[in-house]
Amino acid sequence: MHAALREAGPVVYLDRYDVYAMARYAEVHAALTDWQGFQSAAGVGLSNFRVEKPWRPPSLLLEADPPLHDAPRVVLSKILGPRALRKLRAAWFADAEDLVDKVLVQTEFDAVTALAEAFPLRVFPDAVGISKTGREHLLPYGDHAFNAFGPVNDLVEKGAPRVAELSAWVNSQCAREALTEDGFGARIWAAADHGDITHEQAPLVVRSLLTAGVDTTVHGIAALLYAFATNPEQWLRLREQPATLARVAFDEAVRWESPVQTFFRTATRELEIGGVTIPEGRKILMFLGAANRDPRRWADPDSFDLSRDPSGQVGFGMGIHQCAGQHVARLEAEALLTALAARVERFELAGPARRHHNNTLRAWGSLPMRIHLIG
């Protein structure tokens, strides 16, 4: 489907949903970096916030544009930047080694639940500073949030009965009194005390971490494990240079599988792209996954290849709305890969892999994995 969209032209019209769409790398990249022409504040899903009410208060990071977007983005970029994350590195690497030691007692397991879900759910909520009770709500909440970008279908309806319960729990975790004193959440509230953001904005910024910071990383790590199970020569290459290739591997997995497949923008004015006129106020669907496999940009795009430089991939977005937590995700993946590289000679699928369906995310629901230990 992605290939058909790319070949159809730089802009296509999807009559079923009455939206314009782009699947080629050049146009998707250009749209992501032009926030003045391609608005996020009208919603990054199918719904148009100009005429429809969102199901929850819009994200100050994902669903806002300057100037409202600026202050929360600056605060979060400092808290989640590479320099700040160095303090977590040793602890996360130790946590990864501990988890891997426990998981590898068995030679067969489901890599989604045992590794891809278990590690982010272990270290990231601790880093944010939320309670250990109730963390099982994070994945279904995030799953519904990404489904809710649309269209309204059975996936949205499946999550609807629990929306109130899950939202109430997540919102309660964003309150100052619910957070530990040394986590990301506390630092966001401290930024409000300093006047960098308002106290009304603080819980919404914390909520952004809990909404977008778990599912996406889980699915990125699952894509990585699937990639190595089906490309054993690439795992051998990583084992030889884990310190230099771990982060490259994660970015290549994000390019190859694109856990976040789609995002929408809204035209702020009449736009002319590739000979197509997009009227002002119309929704534009960007196929990030298609752009990340566009042969106009990538050589042999359907291959998972650690010799590639994947740094231009748009799986984390691009421009001012680029994922603020991407360095956190890379560190989680690096810690887990490093621990696995020291113990595992090779992975292989032990049974049929099963997809988890979501309107926005490309995910694995189950990866039966067999591992062969070194020595």
Tokens found for residue 13: 């019209």
**Percent of the residues in the chain that have a pLDDT greater than 70, as a whole number:** 100
The answer to whether the beta carbons of residues 247 and 341 sit under 8 Å apart is: no
The answer to whether the beta carbons of residues 367 and 155 sit under 8 Å apart is: no
- CA separation for the pair 139, 214 (Å, rounded): 7
Please report, for the chain, the start and end positions of each structural domain, with discontinuous segments joined by +. 68-260+294-373
| Pairing state between β 276-278 and 12-14 | unpaired
- CA separation for the pair 134, 168 (Å, rounded): 12
- Confidence at residue 83, expressed as pLDDT on a 0 to 100 scale: 87
- Confidence at residue 131, expressed as pLDDT on a 0 to 100 scale: 93
Q: What is the pLDDT of residues 300-345, one digit of tens each?
A: 999 999 999 999 999 999 999 999 999 999 999 999 999 999 999 9
Give the Cβ contact number of residue 164 at 10 Å: 9
Q: What is the pLDDT of residues 13-45, one digit of tens each?
A: 999 999 999 999 999 999 999 999 999 999 999
> Which DSSP helix (H) or strand (E) runs through 85?
helix 82-103
Give the Cβ contact number of residue 244 at 10 Å: 10
CATH entry 3.40.630.10 includes domain 68-260+294-373: no
Give the Cβ contact number of residue 84 at 10 Å: 15
Confidence band for 206, pLDDT divided at 50, 70 and 90: very high
The answer to whether the beta carbons of residues 116 and 123 sit under 8 Å apart is: no
- DSSP type of residue 367: -
Residues ≥6 apart with Cβ < 8 Å to 235: 228, 344, 346, 347
The answer to whether the beta carbons of residues 355 and 365 sit under 8 Å apart is: yes
Confidence band for 54, pLDDT divided at 50, 70 and 90: confident
- DSSP type of residue 176: G
Give the Cβ contact number of residue 158 at 10 Å: 14
Confidence band for 291, pLDDT divided at 50, 70 and 90: very high
- Confidence at residue 250, expressed as pLDDT on a 0 to 100 scale: 98
The answer to whether the beta carbons of residues 356 and 211 sit under 8 Å apart is: no
- Confidence at residue 212, expressed as pLDDT on a 0 to 100 scale: 87
Confidence band for 165, pLDDT divided at 50, 70 and 90: very high
